[in-house]
Amino acid sequence: MASIFNNITSAYNLKTHGTLAGDLVNGCPVKLNNQNNTVWVQVIVNLNEWTENKDLIIEKCKANKIAKPNYANGHLTFGISSAVNAVSQYAAIKEIITAYASSSSHSAVCPYCGMGGCDIVGLKDTHFLKMHRACQERALAVDKAKIGNHEGSLLAGIFGAILLSSIIYVVSFFIAIGLERVVGYLFILSPIMCEVGYSLFKGPYGKRGTISCILTALLGFFLYCYVECSYAIGELYRVSFTEAFGHPVDVLELLFSTDYLEARAFQIVFFAVGFIVLIAMKPASVKGAIKDLSDTTELNIPLQ
């Protein structure tokens, strides 16, 4: 819950950006991520350091009622899920990092140029790392230029939008025919997933991308309703789904009938809510993407 994140960031005066916050513990970059009612605290630790201190770290966590940390791919992650104990548990985690997990960062090099002498800690991709401010600025300038030049594949972006929204519709369809119920929030998610899929598959930013996301969302919902009506006709007249699907006049007549629209008013309303959210998100917006990149520097912490 947000109060856990707010309690920690307020108590330690940490810089935040959305659900993320950054800290510097004994020279070691620490990332905090507020997700799923838990604040995840992540720090880079080499395998030897973890192997040598694993038992001591787990023992310290138990003593402070902190769940067993997870070690994977060179990252040690702690979870804080108690708002009441959030500040004290984070204090304990800082002590653990200082005692057992901070030596890995002393020899850290800039992820951009591979050299030492870093002057800030900042966000790169999903990690909080030591780096040079100049290197970060150059990398951001390159990324902003790519966005402004509309680099990317429109077809790949549209494919991603169709793929992710289709997953939602497939799940919705099988719930509808199997359990005979409509899960409303899935229809809120379906248009939003168009934007997520488009971005994930690196579709270009700009008006083409925005229009593609909006049209994909509308066509996706129409096709879902078409498939649903085809299935209903097949069940009613005891014909195969493919045969019913191939009779667009009959399918469209049912789709736009008062009975069908009344029966599916629930999912139509939820889709409309998701569609409004999609438009409000301004999918593939150049200005929005550039602003998001610039805002990541809010987490920068100068190194003394």
CA distance 117 to 111: 12
pTM value is: 0.76
Mean pLDDT of the chain: 92
Boundary of a domain, candidates 107, 125, 158 = 107
For residue 115, tell me if it sits in a domain: no
Question: In this structure, are 97 and 162 located in the same domain?
Answer: no
**Residue 132 in domain:** no
Q: What pLDDT is recorded for position 2?
A: 55
Flag whether 136 is in a domain: no
Say if residue 166 is in the same domain as residue 60.
no
Looking at residue 1, its pLDDT comes to 46
Judgement on whether residues 6 and 92 belong to the same structural domain of the protein: yes
Retrieve residue 50's tokens.
């973890």
Please determine, for residue 180, whether its predicted confidence score (pLDDT) is greater than 70: no
Please, is 181 exposed, middle or buried when counting C-beta atoms within 10 Å of its C-beta (0-12, 13-18, 19+)?
A: exposed
- Say yes or no to pLDDT of 267 above 70: yes
Is residue 137 included in any domain, yes or no?
no
107, 140, 167 - which closes a domain: 107
CATH number, domain containing residue 7: 3.30.1460.10
* Distance in angstroms (rounded) separating the CA atoms of residues 65 and 117: 38
Q: How many domains does the chain have?
A: 2
| 158 shares its domain with 84 | no
Share of the chain above pLDDT 90, in %: 76
pLDDT tens digits for 213-247?
Answer: 999 999 999 999 999 999 999 988 899 999 999 99
User: For residue 261, what are its two tokens?
Assistant: 């629209």
Q: How far apart are CA 204 and CA 156, in angstroms?
A: 9
Please state, as a whole number, how many other Cβ atoms lie within 10 Å of the Cβ of residue 211. 12
- Encode pLDDT of 35-70 as tens digits: 988 999 999 998 989 999 999 999 999 999 999 999
Q: Which domain holds residue 279?
A: 150-292
Q: Are residues 286 and 154 in the same domain?
A: yes
For residue 126, being part of any structural domain is answered with: no
